[in-house]
C-alpha cells in the first residue's frame, strides 16, 4: 500500500483502521471502498499537516467537494465516501481516540439524487431473455429477472443452494443475510439442461471459481443492444423490473421486500413510484395529445 505523503500519525491510523475494518465482518468489496475513501481523506489531511480528530462538519464538507469529477464535470454521489468516513470515525470513537460527540460526520446528509431506476417493459424483458444463443448466458439473464437476485448473489450461486424439487434458491446475501427466492418451470428446465453441461460447484463458473460481476455486466449490455433496447440496461435493471412487474400484478409490498431481500420496506416502496410513472405513460398514450 502506497502511503507516501502521509504524516506518520495518519499512516498509523490508516493501518489500524484497516485491521479494525477487516474484523467487522464486511464484504471484501465494501472494505475496499471504505479504504479507498479513507486513504483519500487522510492523504488530504496529511497535505495540510492536520489530524482527523480536529475536523469539523465544515471541513468534511470541503473534503467531499474535492472528490474527482467525471468527463462531463459532474461529481459522483458522495454517499459512499460519507459512509466510509462514518466508519472511520466510528473506529476512532470505539478505540477511545475521540469522543462520540466530536464526530464531524454525524449530521451531514448524503443528499443522493432521487432518481427512479430504469425499468424494462415486459416486451423488452422478453426480447432480452431471447437474445442469447449461449445456454449459460440465457440462464444467467433469466435468473436475474425471475429471482430478482443481485449480480453478486448470482455470481456466487452454488448448485448446492438450488432446490430443483421445490424450485427455490437459497440466496446468500449481503452482510450474511440469507433468503429464499423462487423460480418457474421454464427456468427449472434451463437449470436442468445446464447442470448436465456444467462441471463446477458454481452455477456460473469463471476462470478461477465463479464468473465475475463485471463479466455479467458486459454480457447484459451486449444482449440488450442485440435486442434493440434503447435504455441503459445493467444487471440491476432486471432486478428493478422484477420488483415493478410483481407490484403491477398486485403482489404485496411485504412479499416483494422478502423476495428482494430489502432490509426496509421503504426501499421496496420505490417500486410504487416506478409503477405510477408507468401508469402515467400509458395514460398519456390516450390523453397526451389533448390541448
Q: What are the DSSP calls for the chain, one per residue?
A: ---TT--HHHHHHHHHHHHHHHTTT--HHHHHHHHHHHHHHHHHHHHTT--GGG--HHHHHHHHTTSPP-TTSPPPPSHHHHHHHHHHHHHHHHTTSS-GGG-TTTT-------PPPP---HHHHHHHHHS--SHHHHHHHHHHHHH---HHHHHT-BGGGEETTTTEEEEE-GGG-EEEEE--HHHHHHHHHHHHH--SSBSSB-SSSB--HHHHHHHHHHHHHHTT--S---HHHHHHHHHHHHHHTT--HHHHHHHHT-SSHHHHTHHHHHHHHHHHHHHHHHHTT--
CB 24 within 8 A of CB 34: no
Cα angle 254, 258, 260 (rounded to 5 degrees) comes to 115
**Residues with catalytic roles:** 150, 174, 236, 239, 262, 271
CB 235 within 8 A of CB 148: no
Amino acid at each position: 500500500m502506497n502511503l507516501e505523503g502521509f504524516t506518520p500519525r495518519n499512516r498509523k491510523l490508516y493501518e489500524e483502521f484497516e485491521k479494525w475494518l477487516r474484523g467487522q465482518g464486511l464484504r471484501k468489496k465494501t472494505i475496499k471502498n471504505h479504504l479507498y475513501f479513507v486513504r483519500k481523506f487522510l492523504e488530504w489531511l496529511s497535505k495540510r499537516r492536520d489530524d482527523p480528530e480536529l475536523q469539523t462538519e465544515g471541513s468534511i464538507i470541503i473534503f467531499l467537494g474535492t472528490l474527482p469529477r467525471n468527463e462531463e464535470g459532474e461529481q459522483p454521489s458522495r454517499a459512499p465516501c460519507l459512509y466510509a468516513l462514518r466508519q472511520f470515525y466510528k473506529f476512532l470513537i470505539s478505540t477511545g481516540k475521540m469522543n462520540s460527540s466530536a464526530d464531524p460526520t454525524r449530521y451531514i446528509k448524503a443528499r443522493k439524487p432521487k432518481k427512479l431506476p430504469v425499468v424494462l417493459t415486459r416486451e423488452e424483458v422478453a426480447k432480452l431473455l431471447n437474445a442469447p444463443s449461449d445456454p449459460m448466458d440465457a440462464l444467467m439473464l433469466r435468473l436475474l429477472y425471475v429471482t430478482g437476485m443481485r449480480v453478486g448473489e448470482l455470481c456466487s450461486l452454488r448448485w448446492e443452494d438450488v432446490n430443483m424439487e421445490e424450485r427455490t434458491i437459497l440466496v446468500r446475501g449481503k452482510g450474511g443475510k440469507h433468503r429464499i427466492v423462487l423460480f418457474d418451470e421454464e427456468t427449472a428446465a434451463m437449470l436442468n439442461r445446464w447442470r448436465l453441461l456444467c462441471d463446477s460447484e458454481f452455477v456460473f463458473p469463471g476462470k478461477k471459481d465463479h464468473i465475475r460481476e463485471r463479466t455479467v455486466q458486459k454480457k447484459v449490455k451486449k444482449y440488450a443492444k442485440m435486442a434493440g433496447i434503447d435504455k441503459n440496461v445493467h444487471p440491476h435493471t432486471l432486478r428493478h423490473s422484477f420488483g415493478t412487474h410483481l407490484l403491477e400484478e398486485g403482489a404485496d409490498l411485504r412479499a416483494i421486500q422478502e423476495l428482494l431481500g430489502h432490509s426496509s420496506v421503504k426501499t421496496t416502496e420505490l417500486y410504487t413510484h416506478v409503477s405510477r410513472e408507468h401508469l402515467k405513460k400509458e395514460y398519456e398514450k390516450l390523453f397526451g395529445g389533448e390541448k
